[in-house]
Amino acid sequence: AVSSPPALSPFATASTLLTAAILCCAWTRAPPGTVARARSASRIQMTDQGPTTNAEDQARAAALKASGKAGGPGAAAADLDAFPTVEVQAGTFKYVLINAYTSDGSTSKTLVRSGPGSYHVDVATPTVDALKACGFVVDIPGGGRINRDDANKNVLIYGYSYGFGKADHALTSELVRKDFPGYNVSWSDEGY
User: Phi and psi for 108 in degrees, rounded to 5?
Assistant: -145, 160
Q: Measured between alpha carbons, how far is residue 141 from residues 49, 148, 177, 187 in Å?
A: 24, 22, 20, 17
Burial of 7 (0-12, 13-18, 19+ CB in 10 A): exposed
| 120 catalytic per annotation | yes
Helix axes 55-67, 120-133, angle to 10 degrees: 20
Number of Cβ atoms within 10 Å of the Cβ of 76: 14
Cβ atoms 98, 138 nearer than 8 A: yes
Question: Regarding beta strands 108-114 and 86-88, do their DSSP bridges make them parallel or antiparallel, or are they unpaired?
Answer: parallel
* Order of all β-strands in the sheet with 86-88: 86-88, 108-114, 91-101, 137-149, 154-158, 184-187
Query: Of 29, 120, 145, 169, which is the active-site residue?
Result: 120
Active site (catalytic) residues: 120
